[in-house]
């Protein structure tokens, strides 16, 4: 399956009532990670949470949400359940369970292309996508 990134936004800068409940949960998770305490403080301190949809490139169906913290960490969650299926730790992607190398390769290609096309502030070249260790 070929993947594509779409609908990039900084979820902390957005009005929270315009976000889906899942994206609001990701924002709250982020506030806990940075021990910020409040959305207003996160905004005034300049924190961001770069979020993009990961869709099936052929059908356009929303499959995942990608959330990236500016310090090289992030998470990939299923759009329908919020289940964490992968994450970035120290700028390296790994799956939470068996996803397969075809998935990792497709996600890597979508990530590189999408970061450039959508002007996501993350520099895609700094991220590593090793083979899926869970397969």
| H helices present in 47-125, as ranges | 101-117
Give the model's pLDDT for residue 52: 92
Determine contact, residues 112/126, Cβ cutoff 8 Å: no
Give 24-62 pLDDT, tens digit per residue.
887 777 777 666 777 787 788 888 788 899 999 999 999
Phi, psi of 110 (to 5 degrees): -65, -40
Give the model's pLDDT for residue 135: 64
Phi, psi of 56 (to 5 degrees): -70, 120
Percent of the chain clearing pLDDT 90 (strictly above) = 37
């Amino acid at each position: 399956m070929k993947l594509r990134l779409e609908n990039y936004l900084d979820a902390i800068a957005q009005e929270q009532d315009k976000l889906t409940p899942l994206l609001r949960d990701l924002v709250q998770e982020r506030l806990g990670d940075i021990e910020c305490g409040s959305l207003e403080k996160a905004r005034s301190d300049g924190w961001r949470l770069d979020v993009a949809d990961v869709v099936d490139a052929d059908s356009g169906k929303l499959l995942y949400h990608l959330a990236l913290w500016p310090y090289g960490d992030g998470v990939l969650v299923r759009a329908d359940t919020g289940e964490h299926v992968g994450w970035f730790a120290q700028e390296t992607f790994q799956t939470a369970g068996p996803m397969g190398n075809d998935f990792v390769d497709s996600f890597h290609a979508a990530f590189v292309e999408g970061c450039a096309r959508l002007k996501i502030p993350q520099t895609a070249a700094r991220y590593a996508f090793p083979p899926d260790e869970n397969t």
